[in-house]
Amino acid sequence: MSLETTLDQLRQIAESVVRAEAPIIDKEAKWPQNSIKALQQEGFGGFVVPQENGGHGQGLYGLARACEILGEESGSAGLCFGMHCVGTAMIVAKATEHQKKNFLEPIAAGEHLTTLALSEPGTGAHFYYPQTQLLTSSSGGFIVNGEKTFVSNGGYADSYVLSTMGVDPDATQHEFSCVVVEEGMKGIAWGPEWDGLGMRGNSSRSLSLSNVALPEGNLLGAQGDQLWYIFQVVAPYFLTAMSGTYLGIAQAAFDVVREHLKSRVYRHNGVSLDQISLLQHRLGMLWAKIERTRQLIYHATQQYDKGDPAAVLAILSSKAEVANCVVEVVNEAMTLAGGIAYRDNSRLDVLLRDARAAHIMGPTTDILYTWLGRAVLDQPILDS
Ligand SMILES: Cc1cc2nc3c(=O)[nH]c(=O)nc-3n(C[C@H](O)[C@H](O)[C@H](O)COP(=O)(O)OP(=O)(O)OC[C@H]3O[C@@H](n4cnc5c(N)ncnc54)[C@H](O)[C@@H]3O)c2cc1C
Let me know if residue 383 belongs to a domain: no
* Better-predicted residue by pLDDT, 74 or 342: 74
Q: Whose CA is nearest to atom 34 of ligand 1?
A: 125
| Domains: count for the chain | 3
Q: What confidence tier does 55 reach under pLDDT thresholds 50, 70, 90? A: very high
CB of 177 within 8 A of CB of 166?
yes
Q: How confident is the model at residue 344 (pLDDT cuts 50, 70, 90)?
A: confident
pLDDT of residue 227: 64
CA of 149 from ligand 1 middle (Å) equals 10
Distance CA 67, CA 69 (A): 5
Atom of ligand 1 at shortest range from CA of 363:
17
Do residues 337 and 243 share a domain?
yes
Q: What is the mean pLDDT of the chain?
A: 94
DSSP assignment of 64-97 equals HHHHHHHHHH-HHHHHHHHHHHHHHHHHHHT--H
Residue ending a domain, among 108, 141, 162, is: 108
CA distance 369 to 17: 37
CA–CA dist 74, 22 (Å, integer): 5
CATH number of the domain where residue 138 is located: 2.40.110.10
Asked if 241 and 198 sit in the same domain, the reply is no
Q: What is the mean pLDDT of residues 254-261?
A: 98
Please state, in angstroms and rounded to a whole number, the distance separating the CA atoms of residues 181 and 363.
23
Quick one: 50 exposed, middle or buried, by C-beta within 10 A (0-12, 13-18, 19+)? Answer: middle
Substitution candidate for ligand 1 out of 119, 149, 356 with most atoms within 8 A of CB: 119
- What pLDDT, on the 0 to 100 scale, is given for residue 234? 86
- Same domain, residue pair 183 and 261: no
Q: Do 181 and 267 lie in a common domain?
A: no
Tell me, yes or no, whether 234 and 295 share the same domain: yes
Cα–Cα nearest to 146, from 132, 163, 165: 132
379: left (phi over 0), alpha (psi -120 to 50) or beta: beta
Question: What tens digit of pLDDT does each residue of 166-196 get?
Answer: 776 666 656 778 999 999 999 999 999 999 9
Identify the band that residue 1 occupies on the pLDDT scale cut at 50, 70 and 90. Answer: confident
Look at residue 346 and tell me whether its pLDDT is greater than 80: yes
Mean per-residue pLDDT for 52-67? 98
Q: Domain containing 99 — which CATH number?
A: 1.10.540.10
Which of 70-79, 130-139, 203-212, 351-360 is least confident?
A: 130-139
- The continuous run of DSSP H or E covering 302 comes out as helix 277-305
Tell me if the bond preceding 363 is cis, omega within 30° of 0.
Answer: yes
Domain range for residue 368?
A: 228-376
- Residue 269 resides in a domain: yes
**pLDDT the model gives residue 228:** 67
Q: Note the pLDDT of residue 222.
A: 77
pLDDT at 349 over 80: yes
Which of residues 220, 241, 266 is at a domain's end? 220
| Mean pLDDT on 127-131 | 87
Residues 288 and 266 in one domain: yes
Taking the CA of residue 196 as reference, the ligand 1 atom at the shortest distance is: 1
282 in the same domain as 210: no
Q: Lowest-confidence range among 8-12, 109-113, 134-138, 279-283?
A: 134-138
Q: Is 256 a residue whose pLDDT tops 70?
A: yes
166 in the same domain as 36? no
Within a domain: residue 382? Answer: no
In a domain? residue 353:
yes
Residue 31 lies in a domain: yes
Supply the pLDDT for residue 128.
Answer: 84
**What is the average pLDDT across 318-323?**
98
Q: What is the end-to-end Cα distance of the chain in Å, rounded? A: 46
* Per-residue confidence (pLDDT) for residue 232, from 0 to 100: 82
Distance 370 CA to ligand 1 centre (A): 15
For residue 381, is it within any domain? no
Lowest mean pLDDT segment, chosen from 80-84, 313-317, 344-348: 344-348
User: Of 220, 255, 281, which one is at a domain's C-terminal end?
Assistant: 220
CA neighbours closer than 13 Å in the CB half-sphere of residue 221: 25
What does the pLDDT read at residue 144? 95
What residue owns the CA closest to ligand 1's atom 25?
Answer: 124
Average pLDDT over residues 331-358: 94
Q: What percentage of the chain has pLDDT greater than the value 70? A: 96
Rounded to the nearest angstrom, the distance between the alpha carbon of 17 and the centre of ligand 1 is: 31
**What confidence tens digit (pLDDT) does each residue in 269-305 have?**
999 999 999 999 999 999 999 999 999 999 999 999 9
* Residue located nearest, by CA, to atom 31 of ligand 1: 125
**For residue 168, what pLDDT is reported?**
66
Share of the chain above pLDDT 90, in %: 85
Answer yes or no: do 344 and 257 share one domain.
yes
Does 232 lie in the same domain as 358?
yes
Tell me the backbone φ, ψ of residue 128, rounded to 5 degrees: -80, 5
Decide: 203 and 194 in contact? Cβ < 8 Å: yes
pLDDT of residue 174: 63
Query: 208 and 165: one domain?
Result: yes
Q: Do 252 and 363 lie in a common domain?
A: yes
Nearest to 131 by CA among 116, 142, 120, 115: 120
**d(C-alpha 311, C-alpha 113), whole Å:** 28
Asked if residue 170 belongs to a domain, the reply is yes
In a domain, 65, yes or no: yes
Say what the pLDDT of residue 345 is: 81
Give the CATH number of the domain where residue 251 resides: 1.20.140.10
Least confident range from 61-70, 132-141, 310-319: namely: 132-141
